[in-house]
Amino acid sequence: MTEAKRLDGFIENPLVLEYNLKLMKKNIKKFKAVGPNLANDPDLFISFAPGHPKSKEYAKILDLGMVEMRKSGRLKAILAKYGLQDWK
C-alpha cells in the first residue's frame, strides 16, 4: 500500500518490519521510524497473572527453557531465522 501511495505510514514493531521486508525482498532504507523503538526497551518483560495458580510454575518453565535453549544453541538458531541476536 505504501508503494501504491495509498498509505503514508503505519505502526509496526521494527524487528517484525525488518524481517518481513527481507522476506519480500524490499529495501528497508525506504522506511523511516518516527517513534521510539520499544522492541529494544530494556524494561520489556514477559509476565504472568499474579493471581493465577500456575503463574509461578509457568515462570519457572520459561526460565529453565531459556537456559536449556541457550546451552543447546536452539535459541541462537531461532533468533537467526529472524535476523536477531540474543539479548543476554
Q: Is 79 part of a structural domain of the chain?
A: yes
Q: Is 45 part of a structural domain of the chain?
A: no
What is the count of structural domains for the chain? Answer: 2
Q: Secondary structure of the chain: what % helix, strand, coil (to 5)?
A: 50, 0, 50
Q: For residue 19, give the amino acid letter.
A: Y
Q: Is 6 part of a structural domain of the chain?
A: yes
Give the domain extent around 24. 1-31
Cell numbers found for residue 31: 522506511
Q: Is 25 part of a structural domain of the chain?
A: yes
Q: Is 43 part of a structural domain of the chain?
A: no
* Residue 56: per-residue pLDDT: 92
The model's pTM is: 0.51
Same domain (yes/no): 87, 56: yes
Q: Is 37 part of a structural domain of the chain?
A: no
CA distance 10 to 50: 34
Q: Is 46 part of a structural domain of the chain?
A: no
pLDDT, tens digit (0-9, with 9 covering 90-100), for 41-72: 555 568 888 889 999 999 999 999 999 999 99
